A and B are shown apart, each in its own frame.
Chain A
Amino acid sequence: DAGVIQSPRHEVTEMGQEVTLRCKPISGHNSLFWYRQTMMRGLELLIYFNNNVPIDDSGMPEDRFSAKMPNASFSTLKIQPSEPRDSAVYFCASSYGVLQETQYFGPGTRLLVL
């Protein structure tokens, strides 16, 4: 199994540009999570999906952030327009089952907004 796949691994962009992060969960997993990690705030849940449906997006910082999961094998997190304070590592994780299941993390995307 390839594990959770994220792309790109690194992204450097200028303020105001659109950024799209991509995630492919582990095959067969039906829950997908987007997290953000910064030095100041640690790990934070942004949004999670179950069976491709967004369940809780209360962690999404503001309207500049949006996430989609068009099918069971692909999800995107988009930031438009990007700002320097969005610089962080963004992790995607997936799990199987409804509750209390181990989450498997992708390698993360390190985003730098100049």
Chain B
Amino acid sequence: KNEVEQSPQNLTAQEGEFITINCSYSVGISALHWLQQHPGGGIVSLFMLSSGKKKHGRLIATINIQEKHSSLHITASHPRDSAVYICAVTNFGNEKLTFGTGTRLTIIP
């Protein structure tokens, strides 16, 4: 079973700061997902990646397959970025997602 760990568990920052959330996993994967869960509970898929880097607006996700590590970066953070960010991995041969425990991000105006 793949163990997925995220850090930090909680992060509070001032508006405009550069944010980094980390995710590490124990077993080789086929893909890694970053999800955002809003305070209202809805879950949105932000990125799915298996190598390299992806960028969407102010969000950047990177993955290092050799080190079994991924990071999610937010540039010019804004209060609307406040949410729980969840890392999840899929293992080779199936579509099951194994989830990290999430990082609660709070951006203060």
Interface residues of A (CB under 8 A from B): 31, 33, 42-45, 48, 50, 55-56, 89, 91, 93, 95, 98-105, 107-108, 110
Residues of B within 8 A of A95 (CB): 95
User: How many B residues face the partner with a CB closer than 8 A?
Assistant: 23
The contact of A43 among B45, B48, B86, B90, by CB within 8 Å, is B86
Q: Per DSSP, are chain A's interface residues mostly helix, strand or loop, or mixed?
A: strand
> Within the complex, which residue of A91, A98, A99, A100 is in contact with B43, where a contact is CB–CB below 8 Å?
A91
Closest to A55 in B: B94
Q: Do A100 and B50 have beta carbons less than 8 Å apart?
A: yes
A102 pairs with B97, CB closer than 8 A: no
Q: A91-B43, A107-B42, A108-B42 are in contact. Are A101 and B99 (CB under 8 A)?
A: no
